[in-house]
Amino acid sequence: MLYLIQKDDLNDYLELSEVVDYDNPEIQLKASELAHGLEKVEIAKTIYHFVRDEIDHFLDMEVMK
């Protein structure tokens, strides 16, 4: 299954929602822990890998059924 970007403004995908709740204190704390002592690019990579590898995603769950 292929999903394509459907909006021109990628900021639309970063708005707070029930799914994207980056202002949650627990998420903020984990992001701070992951980012500690790193430069911006390494922060992005580290958080990306954490989310990819440690958090179940809706699409992953559909494949696992």
DSSP classification of residue 60: H
Residue 8 maps to a domain = no
What's the pLDDT tens digit per position in 52-64? 999 887 765 555 5
Residue 46 maps to a domain = yes
Instruction: Domain count for the chain, please give it.
Output: 1
Residue 15 maps to a domain = no
Backbone angles phi, psi at 59, to 5 degrees: -65, -35
What's the pLDDT tens digit per position in 6-52? 888 888 878 888 877 889 999 999 999 999 999 999 999 999 999 99
Residue 7 maps to a domain = no
pLDDT at 61: 57
CA dist., res. 56 & res. 15, Å (int): 20
Residue 11 maps to a domain = no
In terms of residue numbers, what domain contains 50? Answer: 20-64
pLDDT at 10: 83
Residue 26 maps to a domain = yes
Its pTM surpasses 0.75: no
CA dist., res. 21 & res. 53, Å (int): 18
pLDDT at 20: 79
